[in-house]
A and B are shown apart, each in its own frame.
Chain A
Amino acid sequence: MISQIHSIIERFRSEPGPLILVLHAIQAEFGYIPEEAKAVVADGLNLSRAEVHGVVSFYHFFRHSPPGRHVVQLCRAEACQSMHADKLATHAQHRLGIGFHETTADGEFSLEPVYCLGNCACSPAMMVDGQLYGRMSNERFDEVLAEQQLPHQRPGS
């Protein structure tokens, strides 16, 4: 892990203001920002550990622990609320058996709140692993969930 982080730091070291670029690359690699990465990044970018920790903890996007295999982000903002996103949130939590910021015991799903996905004319909206979904209903939520759990098929097979 440490050597991968070193090569990420090398990749961005000459960029102006590189810390967030480095953190994005680390999260893309590991799914989260491992605690042990902070000291390596601090050392590599000539920052204090406090500065690195401060940035990691400031931004909602950076995770402190590994996420589930699939990350479900439900929009909780006003436009989605006007189309009953609160009910969808209740359903999602019930269906997955977890609350927001939690991961199912089998490690399959993490549930996260998000404040606007820019899909406000097709509310309520959610995102699963970077894929956007609109006009969500409880039924459609169950369908999308089931699609994620299918064994991964090759296209055309």
Chain B
Amino acid sequence: MSTIVYIPKDAAALSVGADAVAQAIAEQARARSLTVTIKRNGSRGLLWLEPLIEVETATGRVAYGPVSLADVPGLFEASFLQGGAHALHHGLTEQIPYFKNQQRLTFARVGLIEPTNLQDYCAHDGYRGLRQTLQMGQAQIVQAVTDSGLRGRGGAAFPTGIKWKTVLDAPAAQKYVTCNADEGDSGTFADRMLMEGDPFALIEGMTIAGIAVGATRGFIYLRAEYPHAYRTLNEAIAVATSQGYLGANVLGSGHRFDLEVRLGAGAYICGEETSMLESLEGRRGEVRVRPPLPAIKGLFGMPTIVNNVISLASVPIILDKGASFYRDFGTGKSRGTLPIQLAGNLKRGGLVERAFGVSLRELLYDYAGGSASGRPIRTVQIGGPLGAYVPAAQFDTPVDYEALSEIGALLGHGGIVAFDDTVDMAHMARYAMEFCAIESCGKCTPCRIGSTRGMEVIDRIMVGVNPQQNLTLLEELCDTMLNGSLCGLGGMTPFPVQSALKHFRQDFLKFRNP
């Protein structure tokens, strides 16, 4: 009898040697005349354990990790194909506390199934949401999404259903559904994991969106830094098209929906929705003035849904299980679950999907186990390069849109990057300005020029040139950028700088030699 061994082909697992481990396991099995079937799944999100291999046993999938090439012979000696004891043995994957204490809705299948195996997808509740949708009217579908309380997971947190309703109500000969997969925030990888681990969930979500608003064409705008996701998505789209889930007549319903992946070209600003639309149209990714909203006048001037990967991939389960099922997770105005990404200097980095409301402390210590370096965590940056730095004194804050906003922080796309006490916050503030200078599209002067002036002012402060006057100047510059920029790049780059100034001012005043 053949034993099934799961070895992820998620890019993070590949980055630490999963392919070589897969090859070694196949070779060892052959040499020992054992029959194994290797299945390549997505990642379970326990990223510190990657490559995490799982063996299918009578009681469930047993985890071993992180497995290096050198560990493979020892695993065979320890009878890992029967779930045998070994230093890297973690018992049943789904009983590992990090995994067990999650609420996986959007990520329910990620790491569980073979990503581009449509039968596997359907066997795990896939395409139930779409089938449900085909029994409903357009307004009813949009209402379900509105009722679920789903808000845009890309960072802006705008209610998804309201956006869809605007597109539905806009009369036009052609409408579009676009997926923003330009996941550029440092500390975030949920989009990538989902696209590589469960691409049909995104495809199904976009198909439902298309039917809901009457759009016949969809585009996934994917960043060029994600070649693995590009291959997986294209493979899944081809499978879905050949099986009638995409194309001229979706499941014989008479609805048309065609889907295409387009690659970005290394511009962070193209994660901003109007800039993304410009880029999809083949132009420089300069932001547009709003209004008109993309929902009214979006791609090629037509009504367009622009949603993040996680927002769209959450739609199938909402339609399948009902709006109230989803809305019952969460707190206040933050409904449903959030895939939180624990990154940077942490002992157990990975993906934790939980209902809104879990505290930062629980995430950083119970899940992540503190810093990787063993030193105290001094601060975390939440929501990418435009997010505020939160000091340790505020780690009891719950992770939801409103609670973070109250302490002057933002949730963004749900990435949390931890820094230990060796971090120099003046340096990080300078980096925020530097990043803005590199990535500014150039349209607004405060962003284009202010960011470079910001670096220069921080440089002067760091070497002790008129520090008090220059700190005042820096605060004024932040105010100008914040109020004088069209989009979030110039308008939010001040957040990390201001939070560093507020919580870690001493770092700016320990003067370094020029």
Residues of A within 8 A of B (CB): 16-21, 23-24, 51, 54-55, 58-62, 77-83, 114-123, 125, 127, 130-135
Contact = CB atoms under 8 A, between A and B. Distances in A.
Contacts of A118: 11-12, 183, 188-189, 191-192, 225-226
Interface string B383-420: 00100000000000000000000000000000101111
A133 B15 contact: yes
Among B282, B283, B349, max chain A CB count under 10 A is at B282
Nearest to B48: A121
B281 A135 contact: no
Contact of B283 (A19, A115, A125): A19
Nearest to B434: A76
B157 to A, nearest CB: 21
B438 A120 contact: no
Contacts of A21: 262, 282
Contacts of B192: 118
Given A19-B282, A62-B265, A121-B189, A116 B228 contact: no
A83 B15 contact: no
Contact of A79 (B226, B284, B417): B417
A11 to B, nearest CB: 14
A132 B14 CA distance: 7
B202 to A, nearest CB: 15
A115 B184 contact: yes
Counting chain B residues whose Cβ lies within 8 A of the other chain, the interface size class is: 35 or more
Nearest to B379: A82
B473 interface: no
Contacts of B423: 82
B444 interface: no
A62 B279 CA distance: 14
A123 B344 contact: yes
A121 B281 contact: no
A135 B280 contact: no
B343 interface: yes
B225 A117 contact: yes
B12 A119 contact: yes
Contacts, number: 149
A80 B262 CA distance: 27
A20 B185 contact: no
Nearest to A62: B265
A122 B266 contact: no
Interface in B253-296: 262-268, 279-285
B15 A119 contact: yes
Contact of B284 (A58, A80, A120): A58
A23 B266 CA distance: 13
B267 A120 contact: no
B350 interface: yes
Contacts of A115: 184, 186, 268, 385, 435, 438-439
A132 B282 CA distance: 27
A19 B439 CA distance: 21
B419 A82 contact: yes
Contacts of B385: 77-78, 115
Contacts of A121: 12, 47-48, 189, 341-343, 346, 349-351
Contact of A61 (B15, B224, B342): B224
Given A78-B344, A82-B345, A119 B381 contact: no
Contacts of B281: 16-17
B199 to A, nearest CB: 15
A120 B189 contact: yes
B282 A83 contact: no
A20 B417 contact: no
B417 A135 contact: no
B269 to A, nearest CB: 9
B282 A17 contact: yes
B344 A20 contact: no
A150 B188 CA distance: 34
Contacts of A127: 225
A129 to B, nearest CB: 10
